[in-house]
A and B are shown apart, each in its own frame.
Chain A
Amino acid sequence: MMNDQTPAVVVDGLRVFRGSREVLPGISLSVPRGQVVGLLGPNGGGKTTLLRSIVGVQIIAGGTVTVLGEPAGSPGLRSRVGYVTQDASVYADLTVRANLIYFAALAGAPRTDVERIVEVVDLSADIDSRVDRLSGGQRSRVSLAAALVGSPELLVLDEPTVGLDPVLRRDLWTLFRSLADEGTTLLVSSHVMDEATRCDRLLLLRDGRLLADDSPAGLLARTGAPDAEQAFFALIENEGAA
């Protein structure tokens, strides 16, 4: 870490088209290092497109995305950024262990990392099970584990808690918090507003535009709303009035 003061992610005037539709019409934001940043907003609002742009797998029409000091998608970033897509993108016909050994090899991490990470995501009992024999929640944790091997500095997680039961969701957020405490930056998208309180900072995205970039407390104070969901509605109404 050369300079912990520079943000982990800086997005400046990012424009993205998907088909003929402009999904992100010029968005600017930054993600501070070592924090859990929540990217919240309704489905279809551009969350996945923004995350894909930050990981560097999205073709962009304009603007810049700088990640850990380098342009997004630079070869040097590929071992420093972990990306977990919405659907579990691991090999269903392999065991948890075989999957993680492969992703550890790609990240240049030692094999011993596999055992450690499996413990972190609480899959030790299933390490030799084939992924297609696991439940949906377990599968998404395998996908998360595949990004955790190699200890990336920035973790980009697209709806990691969708479809999980409340206990599992709580455990995952506890895990995110402990990763951030160790210095990892996490950018986590969700359309579940009550997860907002778990974040250090919130980005509210709607129709490709940023409605808020604030701490949870700051957001509530600014809108006078009792919770994040109400704050979100208040922001939408303000916008309509303006």
Chain B
Amino acid sequence: MNPRLTLATATRVLQQVRSDHRTLALMIAVPCVLIGLLAWIFNGTPVFDKIGAPLLGVFPFVVMFLITSVATLRERSSGTLERLLSTPLGKGDFLAGYALAFGALAVVQALVATGFAIWVCGLDVAGPRWLLVVVAVTVAVLGTATGLFVSAFARTEFQAVQFMPAFVLPQFLLCGLLVPRDQLPRALELVSGVLPLSYAVDAMRTLTTTVDAAGDVGFDVAIVAAFAVAAIAAGSLTLRRRTP
């Protein structure tokens, strides 16, 4: 890997996103709109304080998963990926470039969404607020890494988009937001234990209720980060310099 090439790739990806104003606006605005809706729906009840933070951890995963899987599919189908892999660019540079670019976008998205939830919607969390952003960014990088990996199995953009419900919604159902994980049927509880989103939601839950949350949250964040690294490693196996 070469830091210069990684950085050049991240810059290029960010330039592409910047040239698409609508995507950029959607990335930043949609999480805020959803948080706002949620706060409004549960106006006057304690529910928003309970699920607001966990959802702040779910949105970046969904958004980054979708954007990355479509972006990398475009690289594969437009021939640019084949071209890139015939240059000195390493597979690691390519993947890290994407992770870096979308990680940077995730920082902006998480700052805006968290700020909106706290100051506009009045979200109240017991733990330190900056940790909300740390969890959200880690989850966003996980979304990017998973999207990179999954895009290898899509031939068309239609397929890539449908991987979202296929990969993301089961994790959403099992992550403990609808039914606490320890109350799930035993088999599902075990499954939820090997899904990364469960740990992201656990971290956000801890932040919601615990003042001294850093230790537990750090543990969950480390697990999410490990999943992201594994997804990037799996993604690098799907990038082949030689193809049939």
Which positions in A face B, CB cutoff 8 Å? 17-19, 55-59, 73, 75, 78-79, 81, 83, 85, 87, 89-94, 98, 102-103, 105-108, 130, 146
Contacts and interface: CB of A to CB of B under 8 A. Distances in A.
Contacts of A73: 241-242
B73 to A, nearest CB: 14
Given A75-B88, A106-B8, 11 more contacts: A55-B86, A56-B86, A57-B86, A59-B242, A59-B243, A73-B242, A87-B78, A90-B80, A94-B12, A94-B15, A105-B4
B189 interface: no
Contacts of A106: 5, 8, 84, 87-89
Contact of A78 (B80, B86, B242): B86
A105 B8 contact: yes
B166 to A, nearest CB: 27
Interface of B: 4-5, 8-9, 11-12, 15-16, 19-20, 78-80, 82-89, 241-244
B80 A91 contact: yes
B78 A58 contact: no
Central interface residue in A19, A83, A91, by most chain B CB within 10 Å: A91
A58 B243 CA distance: 5
Contacts of B87: 78-79, 103, 106-107
Contact of B83 (A56, A85, A93, A108): A85
B82 A57 contact: yes
Contacts of A103: 87
Contact of A56 (B11, B16, B79, B241): B241
Contacts of A18: 244
Contacts of A87: 78-79
Contact of A57 (B12, B20, B80, B243): B243
Contacts of B12: 91, 94, 98, 102
Contacts, number: 73
Nearest to A84: B83
Given A93-B16, A94-B16, A94-B19, A83 B244 contact: no
B83 A89 contact: yes
A92 B244 contact: no
Contacts of B241: 56-57, 73
B79 A85 contact: yes
A57 B82 CA distance: 8
Nearest to A58: B242
Contacts of A130: 19
Central interface residue in A58, A92, A103, by most chain B CB within 10 Å: A103
A11 to B, nearest CB: 16
B204 to A, nearest CB: 34
Nearest to A146: B83
Nearest to A85: B79
A105 B242 CA distance: 23
Nearest to B17: A93
23 contacts: A17-B244, A18-B244, A55-B86, A56-B86, A57-B82, A59-B243, A78-B87, A79-B87, A79-B88, A87-B78, A87-B79, A89-B79, A91-B16, A92-B78, A93-B19, A93-B20, A102-B8, A102-B12, A106-B8, A106-B88, A107-B88, A108-B88, A130-B19
Contacts of B9: 102
Central interface residue in B80, B82, B83, B89, by most chain A CB within 10 Å: B83
Contacts of B8: 102, 105-106
A78 B83 CA distance: 10
Nearest to A83: B86
A98 B15 contact: yes
Nearest to A16: B244
